[in-house]
């Protein structure tokens, strides 16, 4: 926290400045509450009886909390299985993205040859193309590999992440001095040893941020799982929920319960990893 | 000798990653371009090359026109709401950065961006619901009659814009906050000495200085707006299974042409249109940035 340009040498007299600060805080608090209110209501609805659901104004803390909605939804749908599918997909995808990004980012950052530069240019050029553009051919590739309706099929679309490669490359360039690598080479260390013993530990922070991004990217993926996982057993939680909520007999309580079961873990995870997250997302906006 | 070994390591390490990348990115991208020039229907035996005929058909296709129109309105709608709002919010949060609530502000605005799309969209669907939704109940206090928001051709698009903006805002605010923290302190000190107030500093200094960030955030917001799908999918189907009014968006139209009509070549040509839109937006961003730099 170095620069706070706007607050340097306040010209306002003290009481007035306090009033302004207070006003800004009030506006921000009101806005933030509005932002999270839909999610708060959703979780609250999950615990409500059908009667209370209709009450106006809607209550935030259910007066007569019940777990019926949860037991009903868990009986109706293989929700836990869907969560398991998503979890497996997200974990594998994170591992794959960390591995590919760490290797490619390191090589592209520290080994500048014509070949590697060309490859970097290719990564860069394809980075902006949205997944939706090429997912149909990719679907046929998954089909010909015989991995539709499986974690592997889901994974096919989420093995690499261009931004991950750039993020690690950026970090390698800024955080790992050439002298350090040269010194290790002088001491006779092989390239593999250098990568695993020196480079990877130094990239821990960047890899942590990337891991959080990659995990949430897969966890919240929608269009790709929608076309690749089309059997009830292979749905991810997002797809399962989206299709479940179109059902004829589904009431709001059960929908909210299902949604809450998905939201609460991801919000908890976010709260725990907030620093990593913010760091990673912020890095997406930093341009060379 | 050493140099040669180093080069070999670099190539050997990079090769597997590059092969994966080629298989899951480059090849399908090229294949999209190829398919778009073919009459590639799943059910017919021969799949002839038809040049640009798919594209010609596309521009006479009512459903596609609908989808392109809706998607464009949504993307620009989200842009118009998100970017100015994010800038002001970031300015306020930055101003109160020493406040004990700063962490809360950041998290509360950011959470909608990270939570899963579908549950979040379901929350909004309840809010907009004609019979049970709090929005109608709230408006009835002011004597506004109940509306079937999600069934009205105009309002259903607005609902999607609101939902998408709610999600996009957190990212934009975060990027702006990074921008604010990197602004040169000395310029602001000088302005303060000259007697500028905070509002003047915001308009005269922050807004112009943050232009590159505004450009970047705008393009990211627009690109993700053009890819809108899950939001439309969830909001469009009614909670009780009644067929909702579907807001046709590009990705939805594309998937329908592929997996319902089995016209993969035709769908690929839609994907190419999406690609062109994204490329134009990105080039526009670079062009505007360069123009600034040379001036």
The answer to whether the Cβ–Cβ distance between B229 and A223 falls below 8 Å is yes
Q: Tell me if B32 sits within 8 A of B271, measured CB to CB.
A: yes
Residue A1, domain member (yes or no): no
Whether residues A125 and A245 share a domain: the answer is yes
Whether residues A85 and A43 share a domain: the answer is no
| Per-residue pLDDT band at B157 (split at 50, 70, 90) | very high
Average pLDDT, integer, range B102-127? 89
Q: Is A135 helix (H, G, I), strand (E, B) or coil?
A: helix
Whether residues A188 and A46 share a domain: the answer is no
- Cα–Cα distance measured from residue B268 to residue A220, given in angstroms and rounded to the nearest whole number: 24
B104/chain A closest Cα distance in angstroms: 8
Sign of torsion over alpha carbons A234, A237, A242, A244: positive
Helix (H) / strand (E) containing B133: none
Q: Is B41 helix (H, G, I), strand (E, B) or coil?
A: strand
Residue A3, domain member (yes or no): no
- Cα–Cα distance measured from residue B110 to residue B90, given in angstroms and rounded to the nearest whole number: 12
Residue A55 confidence (pLDDT) above 80: no
Q: Tell me if B268 sits within 8 A of A273, measured CB to CB.
A: no
Note the maximum CA span of chain A: 76
| pLDDT value for B293 | 61
DSSP secondary structure string for all residues of A48-61? --HHHHT-SSPPSS
Whether residues A50 and A152 share a domain: the answer is no
On chain A, the residues whose CB falls within 8 A of the CB of B124 are 38
CATH number at residue A168: 1.10.3720.10
Q: Is B49 helix (H, G, I), strand (E, B) or coil?
A: strand
Q: Which residue of A has its CA nearest to B256?
A: A227
B121/chain A closest Cα distance in angstroms: 9
Burial code (b: 16+ CB inside 10 Å, e: under 16) for A159-190 equals bbbbbbbbbbbbbbeeebeeeebeebeeeeee
Whether residues A127 and A157 share a domain: the answer is yes
- State the complex-level ipTM: 0.88
Q: Residue B192: which residues within 8 A CB-CB, separation 6 or more?
A: A8, A9, A11, B201
Whether residues A112 and A221 share a domain: the answer is yes
Residue A4, domain member (yes or no): no
Read off the pLDDT of residues B47-88 as tens digits, 9 standing for 90 and up: 888 889 999 999 999 999 999 999 999 999 999 999 999 999
Q: Of A66, A89, A105, which residue constitutes the final position of a domain?
A: A66
Domain ranges of chain B: 61-294
Backbone φ and ψ of B131, nearest 5°: -95, -40
Q: Which residue of B has its CA nearest to A253?
A: B126
- Inform me whether the C-beta atom of residue A64 falls under 8 Å from chain B C-beta atoms: no
Residue A6, domain member (yes or no): no
Read off the pLDDT of residues A222-252 as tens digits, 9 standing for 90 and up: 999 999 999 999 999 999 998 888 775 567 8
On chain B, the residues whose CB falls within 8 A of the CB of A271 are 107
Whether residues A42 and A93 share a domain: the answer is no
Residue A150, both tokens:
């499986």
User: In which domain, by residue range, is A39 found?
Assistant: 13-66
Q: Of A51, A66, A81, which residue constitutes the final position of a domain?
A: A66
Residue A18, both tokens:
């306090």
Whether residues A40 and A128 share a domain: the answer is no
- Inform me whether the C-beta atom of residue A147 falls under 8 Å from chain B C-beta atoms: no
Q: Tell me if B117 sits within 8 A of A220, measured CB to CB.
A: yes
The more confidently predicted of residues B240 and A272 is A272
Domain B61-294 in CATH: superfamily?
Answer: MetI-like (1.10.3720.10)
Q: Residue B137: which residues within 8 A CB-CB, separation 6 or more?
A: A56, A57
Q: How many domains does chain A have?
A: 2
| pLDDT value for A1 | 41
Whole-prediction pTM: 0.90
Residue A278 confidence (pLDDT) above 80: no
Whether residues A280 and A205 share a domain: the answer is yes
């Amino acid at each position: 926290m170095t620069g706070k340009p706007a607050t340097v040498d306040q010209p306002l007299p003290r009481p007035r400045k306090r009033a302004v600060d207070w006003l800004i805080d009030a506006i921000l608090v009101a806005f933030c509450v509005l932002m999270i209110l839909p999610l708060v209501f959703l979780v609250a609805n999950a615990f409500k009886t059908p009667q209370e659901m209709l009450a106006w104004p809607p209550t935030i803390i259910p007066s007569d909390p019940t777990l019926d909605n949860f037991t009903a939804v868990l009986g109706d749908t293989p929700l836990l299985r869907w969560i398991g599918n998503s979890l497996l997909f997200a974990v594998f995808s994170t591992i794959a993205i960390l591995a590919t990004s760490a290797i490619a980012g390191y090589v592209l950052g520290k080994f500048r040859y014509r070949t590697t530069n060309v490859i970097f240019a290719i990564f860069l050029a394809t980075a902006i193309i949205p997944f939706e553009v090429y997912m149909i051919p990719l679907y046929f590739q998954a089909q010909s590999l015989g991995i539709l309706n499986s974690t592997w099929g889901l994974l096919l679309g989420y093995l690499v992440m261009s931004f991950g490669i750039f993020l690690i490359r950026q970090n390698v360039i800024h955080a790992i001095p050439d002298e350090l690598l040269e010194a290790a080479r002088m001491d006779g260390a092989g390239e593999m040893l250098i990568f695993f013993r020196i480079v990877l530990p130094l990239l821990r922070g960047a890899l942590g941020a990337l891991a959080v991004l990659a995990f949430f990217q897969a966890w919240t993926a929608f269009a790709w799982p929608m076309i690749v996982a089309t059997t009830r057993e292979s749905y991810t939680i997002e797809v399962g929920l989206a299709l479940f909520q179109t059902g004829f007999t589904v009431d709001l309580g059960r929908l909210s319960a299902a949604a809450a079961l998905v939201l609460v873990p991801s919000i908890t995870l976010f709260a725990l990893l907030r620093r990593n997250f913010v760091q990673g997302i912020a890095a997406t906006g930093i341009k060379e | 000798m050493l140099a040669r070994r180093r080069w070999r390591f670099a190539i050997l390490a990079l090769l597997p990653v590059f092969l994966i990348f080629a298989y899951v990115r480059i090849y399908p991208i090229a294949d999209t371009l190829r398919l778009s020039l073919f009459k590639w229907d799943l059910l017919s035996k021969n799949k002839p090359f038809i040049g640009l005929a798919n594209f010609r058909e596309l521009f006479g296709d009512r459903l596609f026109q609908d989808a392109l129109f809706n998607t464009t309105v949504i993307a620009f709608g989200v842009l118009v709401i998100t970017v100015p709002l994010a800038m002001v919010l970031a300015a306020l949060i930055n101003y109160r950065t020493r406040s004990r609530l700063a962490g809360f502000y950041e998290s509360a605005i950011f959470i909608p961006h990270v939570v899963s799309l579908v549950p979040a969209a379901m929350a909004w669907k309840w809010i907009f619901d004609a019979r049970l939704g709090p929005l109608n109940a709230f408006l009835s206090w002011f004597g506004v009659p109940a509306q079937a928001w999600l069934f009205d051709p105009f309002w259903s698009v607005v609902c999607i814009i609101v939902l998408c903006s709610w999600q996009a805002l957190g990212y934009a605010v975060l990027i702006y906050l990074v921008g604010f923290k990197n602004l040169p302190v000395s310029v602001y000190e000088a302005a303060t000495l000259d007697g500028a107030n905070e509002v003047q500093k915001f308009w005269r200094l922050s807004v112009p200085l943050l232009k590159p960030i505004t450009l970047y955030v705008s393009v990211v917001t627009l690109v993700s707006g053009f890819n809108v799908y899950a939001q439309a999918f969830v909001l469009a189907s009614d909670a009780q299974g009644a067929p909702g009014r579907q807001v046709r968006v590009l990705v939805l139209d594309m998937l329908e042409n592929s997996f319902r009509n089995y016209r993969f070549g035709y769908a690929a040509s839609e994907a190419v249109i999406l690609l062109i839109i994204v490329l134009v937006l990105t080039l526009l961003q670079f062009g505007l940035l360069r123009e600034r730099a040379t001036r």
